[in-house]
Amino acid sequence: MKFETDIFSVFDKKWALLTAGNKDSFNTMTVSWGGMGTIWGKPVATVYVRTSRYTHEFMDREGYFTVSFYPEEYRKVLGVLGSKSGRDMDKMNASGLTAKALQESVTFEEAEITLVCRKMFMQRLERSNITDPDAAKFYSGDAPHDMYIGEVVDIIRK
Ligand SMILES: Cc1cc2nc3c(=O)[nH]c(=O)nc-3n(C[C@H](O)[C@H](O)[C@H](O)COP(=O)(O)O)c2cc1C
């Protein structure tokens, strides 16, 4: 399993969709915070989800999630999926993306790369543990982030 990317810009500049659930019930949202690396001897992807997101409910419920990347032409779609909540509208249908059920999770046909992740660990980013003074601005009145680490068990390319 091989994946080469510019890790410091792939989430930040390209953005991704974080999806959890199964073909009958799933949710997706845009993420631009994330990481990839190694822990416990396994290849992993890490994402950060505010507890207020509808996707958070699926991340807690499910044992798997996917992180998928898209060609530039989908930037607008990712913008919508990152500003509307699946709680308030059927944003999956509104997005025009085609859901693709996997054995354990869901991604979209339009993705150029999908990392299929098995949830291994989650933990709240507790304010009292944040030592970076620049981070405070992300939490003035906003819900905290939970960190999810998933083992990358498959990489699906278009
Ligand atoms: C470019 C971009 C990046 C985002 N990155 C994150 C992120 O890393 N973590 C997060 O919790 N929310 C992030 N969001 C916000 C969610 O995508 C947004 O609140 C979304 O509407 C949540 O949908 P949901 O309620 O259906 O889960 C991002 C939004 C945009 C536009």
CATH of the domain at 17: 2.30.110.10
Reference 49, options 20, 13, 7; nearest CA is 20
Instruction: Take atom 16 of ligand 1 and give the residue whose Cα is closest.
Output: 82
Place of tokens 């507890």: 51
Phi then psi dihedrals of residue 91, to 5 deg: -75, -20
pLDDT digits (tens, 9 = 90+) for 62-107: 999 999 999 999 999 999 999 999 999 888 888 899 999 999 999 9
Residue 133 lies in a domain: yes
Q: How far, in Å, from the CA of 33 to the mean position of ligand 1?
A: 9
Between the alpha carbon of residue 124 and those of residues 5, 18, 129, the distances in Å are: 27, 18, 10
Residue 67 lies in a domain: yes
Q: Is the pLDDT of residue 148 over 90?
A: yes
The mean pLDDT value of the chain amounts to 96
Residue 17 lies in a domain: yes
pTM of the full structure: 0.98
Instruction: Take atom 4 of ligand 1 and give the residue whose Cα is closest.
Output: 31
Q: What percent of the chain has pLDDT over 90?
A: 92
Angle at 100 between CA 95 and CA 106, to 5 degrees: 90
- Count of domains for the chain: 1
Cβ of residue 70 lying under 6 Å from some atom of ligand 1: no
Question: Which residue from 53, 59, 83, 139 has its CB within 8 A of the most atoms of ligand 1, so it is best to mutate?
Answer: 53
Reference 96, options 114, 110, 117; nearest CA is 110
